[in-house]
Each structure stands twice: as structure tokens, then as C-alpha cells.
Amino acid sequence: MTHPQPVRVHLIVGGFPPGSPAGHDMDYARLRILQLLLHEQPNVTASVSGDFSDIDKWLPGCQLLVTYVAGPFPNEAQNSFLRQWLEDGGRWLGLHGTSGGKAAPVDNDRRVRKMVKADHHATLGGFFLNHPPLRKFQVDVVNQQHSLTRGLPASFEVMDELYLIELQEPENSEILLTTELEKDPSPPGFGFVYDEDTALQPDGKTRVLGFTRALGRGSVAYIALGHCHSTTSNMQPFVDESVDDDGTTPRVFRGSWDTQPFEQLLRNGIEWGCSLSA
């Protein structure tokens, strides 16, 4: 009897400061991703970390990196190691807050913060600007023939944080998921500030929520969906009326995680990362 070739996957799930949920139910996300990794791919062995501090230890010999983070990001040296690993053939599936990182006070006012673009955003190919309050919106699947979107409907509805993502290399990126939002509806004082809405596409209404890009012999896939929180990790002050008429934040929120299309996206992403032929 022949056995499938083992595949090593490294999973990074965590918030900042270390051990903090940073507004997300990290335990839930970690468990769901591990269940998909180990139940759907019987030849997978997985290692788990809370940040990027030891990727030089775990990535060698690894085929896929999956990240779900809110705060942690690779520093310059770690990003250099990660980028070389990708160029040598590795695959990186970045989820949700992976496109974020460090936020800095504006004019020394800690109540007003702006995201800081760093080296890892160039590697990932996406940079998070802001998101309005949790809302309901439609996700459009641009390319249903791609291995990452296989089995998805042409469009589907979710309740989630609608991330405003600036593509770093649009000419080298294959857009997979989009939505329409002409203007950031965030009320004054909500979220992060930015100089210009560079997430808005040339048509004046489209936002990119998922893409893939090649790096050397490897590749990156990013999916912006995936907010979840529990009663102890919630930091949402209020939500859009499309989620709750009174703007009251659900004590436990799973959003996209409770939808079949998002689960299919995760399955596809894991299969894409574990199969070099995908």
C-alpha cells in the first residue's frame, strides 16, 4: 500500500500583545482552521505559533503557511526570510487581519491612529486601511474557475468586517473576490484614519476582498473575510443596522465562519497550499 506524501503546514493565530485576543476569538479561529487542516488533509502535520517570531524555525521543510492574526506581523528580518521561502516555492494563505500590522498615533493623539505600511505588506500584496462597523454585504466571485474559488456561487452574502484593502501590485495580482462600496461609511472617530481611499478601484465602487499573486516559484493568497469574537474578546462598539436594528453588537459573532462559501474558501485555500499542482 502506498501512503500519501506528508505535507507540513505552519499555522500562526494570535493577537498583540502576545496572548491577547486583540478583539477576535483566536481560539475559535485556531480550532476551525486546524479541524479543516487535519480532517480534510489526512497527510498533513501542523505546527502552531502565536506570532512570526520563530518562522525561521518552522518554515524550512514546510509547504504552506496559514495566518490569522490581529496585530502580529513579521519584522524586517522575518519578512526577508518569509519572502525567500515563498520565492523558493512556499505558499502563504493569509486571512483577515494578516493585511494589518502596526497602527501609529496621528499628531501624538492616541485616540486617532493610522495604519503603517511595512515590508510584509509588499510580500503579502495587500495593505489594510480601515473597515466600517460590522455590516451585511455581498461578495462577488470574479473567477469561479480558479482553484481557490472552486465550488463557490457567483455571489454570496455575509456579515463581516468589510476590509478596505489597497493592492500593492495590482498588475501582478489575480483578483478573486470583490464587493461594492462607493464610500467608507465609518462614522467620525471609528477605526483608523487614512489620507486617501486607495482601496477603491478605478470604477469608483469596487473593493477587492480576495486575490492571489506569484512570488518566484511560490505564491500568496489573501482573503479579507473572517471576523469572529466572543463575549470576552469583543471590541466592537456598535454594528451597522444591517446586522442589528439597534446597532447592538452580538455577544458572540461568527459571521462568515457560519457560511458555506467561507468554509469552502478555507477548504480550497488549504488544498491549494497543500497541492503543488493546484
Structural contact between residues 225 and 256, judged by C-beta atoms closer than 8 angstroms:
yes
Say if residues 60 and 89 touch (Cβ distance below 8 Å): no
pLDDT given for residue 247 in this prediction: 92
Instruction: Look up the pTM and report it.
Output: 0.96
The residues facing 104 across adjacent strands are 114
Q: What is the pLDDT of residues 236-267, one digit of tens each?
A: 999 999 999 999 999 999 999 999 999 999 99
Among 144, 164, 146, 167, smallest CA distance to 155 is for 144
Confidence of residue 193 (pLDDT cuts 50, 70, 90): very high
Return phi, psi of residue 8, to 5°.
-95, 130
Domain boundaries, the chain: 7-274
Which pLDDT belongs to residue 114?
Answer: 94
CATH 3.90.1150.10, domain 7-274, yes or no: no
Q: What is the pLDDT of residues 106-141, one digit of tens each?
A: 987 778 899 999 999 999 999 999 999 999 999 999
